[in-house]
Structure 1
Amino acid sequence: MDTSNTSRPTDDSLSWTATPVRALLRRPPVMVEPELSIHATARIMREQRVSSVLVGRDGIPLGLVTDRDLRNRVLAEGRDPAQPIMAIATTTLHTVDIGDHAFDALLLMARLNIHHVPVMDGPRVAGVITSTDVQQQQSNSAVYLAGAIYRQDTVDGLVATAARIGALQRQLAAAHASPHATGRLVSAMTDALTSRLLQLAEARFGPPPVPYAWVAAGSQGRNEQTAKSDQDNCLVLDDGYDPAQHGDYFEALARFVCDGLNACGYVYCPGEMMAMTDAWRQPHARWREYFHQWIERPEPKALMLTCVFFDQRFVYGERALLESLRAEVLRRTPGQRIFLAHMVSNALTHQPPLGWLGGIHTIRSGEHEGTVDLKHSGIVPIIDLARIYALAGGITAVSTRERLQAAASSGEITAARARDLIDALDFLSGLRIEHQARLMAEGRPADNYLHLQELSELERRHLKDAFAVVKDLQGVLEKRYLAGRF
């Protein structure tokens, strides 16, 4: 299939998924000592023509002062300008890493309504990016849509804004965006909706009584969403959680967010794997017990839950609650050969629809007769393979592409095999995105069922090749883990 694109993509936000934050830096940071006076600091800001300065020593920031701080915290309050600048500095700094994507910085600014973000290179600051820097770079839909989400003050406003996400996917497809970029941008919109709903929930119910982490699972967790899908999420609560004192608060918060996501088009999970379900709204220690049980006793339900909840990614709240949990799980899984064998056996239930002679079998009856299920026959098997490589290698990556790349680096799979799987994933995901875009353009709901008549002969050959790669790698894992059974 010829996916070349000689025209410039119409959505400049595509570049934000690949552009590092470092590309937005315009100058070295301006930093002053904590003891310097407010008056002297203001003069430096004027001389350097900057709207903010960092307060710190040896390149390590301790605080941030902006033009707005000088107005609100000094002039408006009649503060003595001879006082040290540290007296008015914001000491809770929200930063990004120099290797992060520009889109991450944009979402941070939008979510927290901040205008200056220090960029860190290890423990030292490399510079500061501002909302002006962003405005000069951004242009189109995904960037503005994220900002529009965070400007909404009601669920109805979020529902109206979320209705534009389908149009975003159609624009991305028309611009020949890579499936990886499309999945990341669409997932970012879901993250933004979730974060804003949580902010509205906290405004309604009050601040959380104990820290929590709202966690995305499934395709959102992997940054691989397309169009609108059902929601998979959970809450990891601090171990200070007391059901008697705090249960009503978190039940109300979770229900508000899940109901809001459903209203925005992310329907309730049929298996009720959502934070509004009591079982998936638990303290950190209970989540540790869950994963321990799933690994030690890999029954069919446990394997299903592992597939959903191992693909976890932090969205909002206290990040450390999830990161410490994931780190512990990944320390345990590499040596669990019986568990991994069960995971492989479970993964083999999704097989590419290839016959003995290499022909593609279509669905024989029912509503989708004559079609190929791109998701369950091609994409899900690759996701399953990548997840098993990650579990076996203790790999922290969550997205399928990054898991495959990390598996090649760790030796779980050869570099050539990893490239084959990534190419197959890109091809199958691309077909799926284009198919869904066509359906949405016709006013029909998006699905995963493709008629082979929609493809050219070349595309059909590529589809066979993609399925063959998946089937081959499934066979390799079957021999590695299931030879002689367990």
Structure 2
Amino acid sequence: MPEPPTCLDDTLTLTSTPVRSLLRRAPICVPPELPVRAAAQTMREHNVSSVLVTDGDTLRGIVTDRDLRNRVLAAGLDPQRPVIEVATTAVQTVDIGDAAFDALLLMARLNIHHVPVTDGARVVGLISSSDLQQRQSDSAVVLAQAIYQQDSVAELQAVAARVPALQRQLAAAGTSAHATGRLVSAMTDAITTRLLQLAERALGPAPVPWAWVAAGSQGRNEQTAQSDQDNCLVLDDAYDAAHHGAYFEALARFVCDGLNACGYVYCPGEMMALTPMWRQPWSRWREYFMRWIETPDPKALMLTCVFFDQRFVAGERALLDTLRAEVLARTPKQRIFLAHMVSNALTHTPPLNWLGNLQTIRGGEHDGTIDLKHSGIVPIIDLARVYALAGGIGAVNTRERLLHSADSGEITRERVRDLLDALEFLTTLRVQHQARRLEAGQPADNFLRPDELSALEQRHLKDAFAVVKALQGVLEKRYLAGRF
């Protein structure tokens, strides 16, 4: 098995993370006249180690477990006395926009473990030293290290539950969408690799070489929280189904079931190594790709969009590298295939009406929203994939495909810059939208209401969509004029 990958995490530090990203709940407040006993009961009910003493919007003090121990129990104070009598009233606070590092320095300097958070004159939360420790333990480096220390699926499941918190913190820290996708995908890679290690521990060494391959958003290093799984196994041609089939079926089941348990749900289209069709030797995979290229029917095009975005995760890297090299040597010459790929890409169009204004979804569950993924990000992914296939470019990440496409002449550098700006803007909106939903205890989705944006952001959104629409038109003229 490969060594755990090193995950650089210089984007995620306490110095660049605002205090707001540490807030998990509204502050628990009690009035000054409340009896100490009742205040303690409130702390127990809410499972907190401190409460704020407030008079309306005015912060009067803070009471912690330590105060109850030292100032009430040890001093023999009547628990019916007003809580303000045992509160710390000379309270230090931090602003919601301050860096988390400032809060850490304040706690260290004053030897305290709780700090109220204010937004102007209003108290909006409370952070503790344990919050800062948890913030550090949710960083990508430490989280990846924790993944490789787990010895069961149940233990991995508990660690994987921290990945959405990582995405929220990345969004709060203003980390670029490109970096966020890489870091979140790196966590999925780490979980997958650890599951493979645990599978080999249980099943014994594999009878023939193999490569576990990520596809879809994980393959492109563009994953966000709450993704389903797209993966496959490329086996050495020494594979014999009669002798080796049971082993690799068990391996695939262990890993795919484990990923599902960790929150990466089964692919609705069953594009997983768990499906026998996607657990095949090298020569069969070569047949698949050649058939998709030479007979580009609708199903082949759909499969192409998933499996052309393949990236090696674990096993024998050469199995995937040699396969991709042969396929990419063929695609630039396949004009009919490329024309079909362009036609398929045009099924996802930006939500602009004929006047160039935003057009939201009408009716149904997502009425009044814009699907950031399928109406904005997927069209850019599709464009980049066509450029890569037309230029025989091996890059899989959308940003890298666009940069290499400028070198190949498939698109001008100016247009590449426009698309990269549009991709970063749309993906950032998506990541921030998902972070807000996760923070509110809601499942992450891609449906944004334009009225959540400022007027300037709405103009930028229209500009981003206009760039995509214009380049779709260029490809349509280049590949489809007179064909269909």
TM above 0.5: yes
For residue 151 of structure 2, what is the aligned residue in structure 1?
Answer: 153
Instruction: Say yes or no: does 1:242 pair with 2:227.
Output: no
For residue 42 of structure 1, what is the aligned residue in structure 2?
Answer: none
Amino acid at match of 2:234: V
Equivalences for residues 300-449 of structure 1 within 5 A: 300-449=298-447
Instruction: Say yes or no: does 1:193 pair with 2:195.
Output: no
Equivalences for residues 187-336 of structure 1 within 5 A: 187-336=185-334
Equivalences for residues 110-125 of structure 1 within 5 A: none
Q: Which among 453, 459, 466 is matched to residue 468 of structure 1?
A: 466
Does the Cα contact within 8 Å between 1:12 and 1:140 map onto a contact in 2?
no
Q: Which among 471, 478, 486 is matched to residue 476 of structure 2?
A: 478
Does the Cα contact within 8 Å between 2:231 and 2:273 map onto a contact in 1?
yes
Q: Which runs of 5+ in 2 are unaligned?
A: 1-9, 17-135
Does the Cα contact within 8 Å between 1:13 and 1:142 map onto a contact in 2?
no
- State the distance in 2 between where 1:212 and 1:244 align: 17
Cα distance, 1:228 vs structure 2: 1.9
Does the Cα contact within 8 Å between 1:222 and 1:311 map onto a contact in 2?
yes
Q: Matched residue of 2:305: which SS?
A: helix
- State the distance in 2 between where 1:12 and 1:279 align: 46
Instruction: Say yes or no: does 1:11 pair with 2:9.
Output: no
For residue 58 of structure 2, what is the aligned residue in structure 1?
Answer: none
Amino acid at match of 1:427: F
For residue 133 of structure 1, what is the aligned residue in structure 2?
Answer: none
Cα distance, 1:139 vs structure 2: 8.7
* CA distances 1:281-326 after superposition (whole Å, capped 9, x unpaired): 0000000000000000000000000000000000000000000000
Q: Matched residue of 1:236: which SS?
A: strand
Would the alpha carbon gap of residues 403 and 10 (structure 1) be closer, same or farther in structure 2, given more than 3 Å must change? closer
- State the distance in 2 between where 1:402 and 1:246 align: 37
- State the distance in 2 between where 1:331 and 1:240 align: 25
Does the Cα contact within 8 Å between 1:363 and 1:370 map onto a contact in 2?
yes
Would the alpha carbon gap of residues 268 and 296 (structure 1) be closer, same or farther in structure 2, given more than 3 Å must change? same
Cα distance, 1:12 vs structure 2: 7.2
Does the Cα contact within 8 Å between 2:137 and 2:143 map onto a contact in 1?
no
Amino acid at match of 1:358: G
For these two proteins, the number of residue pairs brought into alignment is: 357
Cα distance, 1:453 vs structure 2: 1.2
- State the distance in 1 between where 2:326 and 2:11 align: 42
Equivalences for residues 55-134 of structure 1 within 5 A: none
Which runs of 4 or more aligned residues in structure 1 lie more than 2 Å from their structure 2 counterparts after TM superposition?
A: 8-14
Q: Matched residue of 1:230: which SS?
A: coil
- State the distance in 1 between where 2:170 and 2:346 align: 32
- State the distance in 2 between where 1:484 and 1:193 align: 48
Cα distance, 1:335 vs structure 2: 0.5
For residue 171 of structure 1, what is the aligned residue in structure 2?
Answer: 169
Does the Cα contact within 8 Å between 1:13 and 1:143 map onto a contact in 2?
no
Amino acid at match of 1:11: T
Q: CA RMSD in A?
A: 1.6
Amino acid at match of 1:447: D
For residue 77 of structure 2, what is the aligned residue in structure 1?
Answer: none
Would the alpha carbon gap of residues 375 and 13 (structure 1) be closer, same or farther in structure 2, given more than 3 Å must change? farther
Q: Matched residue of 1:282: which SS?
A: strand
Identity within the alignment, %: 77
Does the Cα contact within 8 Å between 1:13 and 1:140 map onto a contact in 2?
no
Cα distance, 1:11 vs structure 2: 2.9
Q: Which runs of 5+ in 1 are unaligned?
A: 1-7, 15-137
- State the distance in 2 between where 1:258 and 1:11 align: 33
